[in-house]
Amino acid sequence: MANKIIFPENFLWGAATASYQIEGAWNKHGKGESIWDRFSHTPGKILNNDTGDVADDHYRLWKKDIGLMKKIGLQAYRFSISWPRILPAGRGRVNQKGLDFYSKLVDGLLEAGIKPFVTLYHWDLPQALEDEGGWTVRSTAEAFADYADVVMRTLGDRVKNWITHNEPAVVAWLGYETGVHAPGMTDPVKAVAASHHLLLSHGWAVPVIRRNSPGAEVGIALNCNWTVAASNSAMDLDAHRRSDGKWVRWFADPVFGRGYPADVVEDFKRLGTLPDGTNFIQPGDLDIIATPMDFIGVNYYNRGIIRVNAPGNEPQNIFPSPQTPEHWTEMGWENHPDGLVGVLARYYFGYQPPKLYITENGASYSTPPDENGNVPDVHRVNYLRTHVAAAYRAIQAGVPLAGYFVWSLFDNFEWSFGYSQRFGIVWVDYASQKRILKDSAKWYKTVIKRNGFQTV
Ligand code: FCB
């Protein structure tokens, strides 16, 4: 029997992007250099030495892009602001042209009836601040609060949905510990300091947003895989505890007022990444980090199966094979929709945020246009359909989920993978900058229109 899934009234359907991944115009109209400009211009850091210099050329094509959003019927659009476009040196002089760009974008969205969801930090730190230590120093957190103030004074009247940070765990651990992301540092001690300053800057920004934008909703977007231990061995169970502690609880616990998880503090001490005498956590910081928010944004992609090969080693993910395209995206990430139910339930029942949004969910498949100019991305449709159904199950279980954002609206610059991974529901031909709605965008359009779908 056909089964209809209908979402609650006012459920918000959107799609997400990030400034460095789509804008291009890396040095236009007074924009300063970001750490991703520096990193991608350094040979060997990005697959094929790709850069975001042009990306989707959205800085130039934004009007047309709003037209595409309208065509899909998006109700909300999550994008991020490039800090060095607004403050080329990270603090001080404001680049009015940068502010004007976002101001026009916001007006265009509102005219199209699309709600702007703005992320203040999706990874493109001004290089000038990195030169002073980046997130490893407290002054960057102070600069972030000032940057938030500058943005809010211009956009606070019209934008009512704000996200301070996107995935601070990825920034701290990939940017400062493994060095796979900009700024490419490999210093595990400084990475822990970076994690603290990211969280502190979030706490400082929340009241700045509220002050400048009456009635605004503020939250943070946290990444959370659904992880399980690879076996019941004490070693694998402990690896799972450590990995979950470092990636999830280290960030979620303090923003919800629980302070840093004691077991992870012990892990970091044992590993020497939180040496005795560390003093970057100052009295009162944890209260600032715990400033109440209106929502939590959940970025969910896949399951992780966690093991360790020797006690004390870094936990690892297992990747079983063969990896069929129905079950594994081209990132090598497992398609595991039940994990989304688990993650949403975990955040809601475990931390009790007032509400939740899925701020990112999507899949990398490179399906190209066919001879008729269609993009039959069946695996992405399957991924999205099963995950939207999972989101619905979470609502049925009592989770106050208020919206869903597909990652991503466009194929774009996928960080260290360059342009090799395509997450878009809109195909982008990088040579011509032509866009094509993939079958997934057409499918999503009907979901939005019906506020749900038929399961069989
Ligand atoms: C998330 C990022 C986003 C995109 C997706 C695939 O971690 O927030 O920018 O790269 O992964």
Cα 371 to middle of ligand 1, angstroms = 30
Q: Angle at Cα 131 formed by Cα 21 and Cα 119, nearest 5°?
A: 35
Ligand 1 atom nearest to 331, measured from its CA:
6
Q: Structure tokens of 374? A: 């269609």
**Cα 397 from Cα 395, distance rounded (Å):** 5
Strand residues in 34-114 grouped as ranges (E):
76-80
Cα 183 to middle of ligand 1, angstroms = 16
Q: Would you write out the chain's pLDDT as a tens digit for each of its 456 residues?
A: 568 999 999 999 999 999 999 999 999 999 999 999 999 999 999 999 999 999 999 999 999 999 999 999 999 999 999 999 999 999 999 999 999 999 999 999 999 999 999 999 999 999 999 999 999 999 999 999 999 999 999 999 999 999 999 999 999 999 999 999 999 999 999 999 999 999 999 999 999 999 999 999 999 999 999 999 999 999 999 999 999 999 999 999 999 999 999 999 999 999 999 999 999 999 999 999 999 999 999 999 999 999 999 987 889 999 888 889 999 999 999 999 999 999 999 999 999 999 999 999 999 999 999 999 999 999 999 999 999 999 999 999 999 999 999 999 999 999 999 999 999 999 999 999 999 999 999 999 999 999 999 876
Ligand 1 atom nearest to 423, measured from its CA:
6
User: Looking at residue 44, what DSSP letter applies?
Assistant: T
- Residues with beta carbon inside 6 Å of ligand 1? 18, 21, 166-167, 170, 223, 299, 360, 407, 414-415, 423
Cα 23 to middle of ligand 1, angstroms = 15
- What does the buried/exposed string (b/e) look like for 170-179 if buried means 16 or more CB atoms within 10 Å of the residue's CB? bbbbbbbbeb
Class of 3-455 per CATH?
Answer: alpha beta
User: Where do the domains of the chain lie?
Assistant: 3-455
Q: Supply the DSSP string of 360-403, one letter for each residue.
A: E----------TTS----HHHHHHHHHHHHHHHHHHHTT--EEE
